[in-house]
Chains A and B, each alone.
Chain A
Amino acid sequence: DAKTTQPNSMESNEEEPVHLPCNHSTISGTDYIHWYRQLPSQGPEYVIHGLTSNVNNRMASLAIAEDRKSSTLILHRATLRDAAVYYCILRDVGTQGGSEKLVFGKGTKLTVNP
């Protein structure tokens, strides 16, 4: 399974943008980049995913480097509710027979200060 590298922790102030980086230098052409987050005492929650182009949804934006070896999850205005562990995960579109296996790393623990 292709690996991702994320900082262990980051801090932000409320209502400021947050850029969460992820390195995936061994990404293959068939890997999609997914982000999940886990709020305290809850199961992980899907945030966003993309392949090559930048993606936006109601929760966040995903900026993917041109060589796809890194990506950045952008929270445009952090709120206290965004305090969570954020996981960057690669999912292989070529997985035989399909599979919902996610390989979680340690993730980045985001602290949002009021």
Chain B
Amino acid sequence: KAGVTQTPRYLIKTRGQQVTLSCSPISGHRSVSWYQQTPGQGLQFLFEYFSETQRNKGNFPGRFSGRQFSNSRSEMNVSTLELGDSALYLCASSLGGSAVTGELFFGEGSRLTVL
């Protein structure tokens, strides 16, 4: 079965712009979570959506937002981009039924460069 698909894989933006990243989870998975990975901070949790509702949120400013559609596909948006937003953004999907046994499946990420 198809894995987690993230688009676009690479993108370049300038400061002040906004960006929307997309994530298509594995078929049947209802949970989608987003992570930011930078060399300095490592992997940091952004937020998680389950059945179109945000279930958990990390410590990121309000410029970072997301949503989930009825087909479980998710998008995240970053407004007013800053240089520090340059990172690899990873999406992970899971069945979401149990926080313990749910194995997370990660996509390959969207690499954002802010100039």
A contact set with B: CB distance below 8 Å:
32, 36, 41-46, 49, 87, 91-93, 95, 97-107
Nearest to B93 among chain A residues (CB) is A100
Tell me if B97 counts as interface (CB < 8 A to partner A): yes
Count A-B contacts at CB 8 Å.
73
When the two chains form their complex, are residues A100 and B99 in contact, meaning their CB atoms are under 8 A apart? yes
Count of B interface residues, CB-CB < 8 Å: 30
Q: How far is the CA of A46 from the CA of B26 in the complex (A)?
A: 15
Q: Chain B 83-105, CB within 8 Å of chain A: the 1/0 string?
A: 00000001010101111111111
When the two chains form their complex, are residues A101 and B109 in contact, meaning their CB atoms are under 8 A apart? no
When the two chains form their complex, are residues A93 and B100 in contact, meaning their CB atoms are under 8 A apart? yes
Q: How far is the CA of A41 from the CA of B88 in the complex (A)?
A: 10
When the two chains form their complex, are residues B90 and A91 in contact, meaning their CB atoms are under 8 A apart? no
When the two chains form their complex, are residues B104 and A98 in contact, meaning their CB atoms are under 8 A apart? no
The 8 lowest CB-CB distance pairs between A and B, nearest first, are A43-B106, A104-B43, A93-B100, A98-B99, A99-B56, A46-B103, A95-B99, A100-B33
Q: How far is the CA of A106 from the CA of B37 in the complex (A)?
A: 11
When the two chains form their complex, are residues A97 and B55 in contact, meaning their CB atoms are under 8 A apart? yes
Q: How far is the CA of A95 from the CA of B45 in the complex (A)?
A: 15
Partner of A98 from B45, B92, B96, B109 at Cβ < 8 Å: B96
Q: How far is the CB of B51 from chain A (nearest CB, A)?
A: 11
Tell me if B42 counts as interface (CB < 8 A to partner A): yes
When the two chains form their complex, are residues B104 and A46 in contact, meaning their CB atoms are under 8 A apart? yes
Contacts of B56 in A (CB 8 A): 99-101
Q: How far is the CB of A45 from chain B (nearest CB, A)?
A: 7
Nearest to A48 among chain B residues (CB) is B103
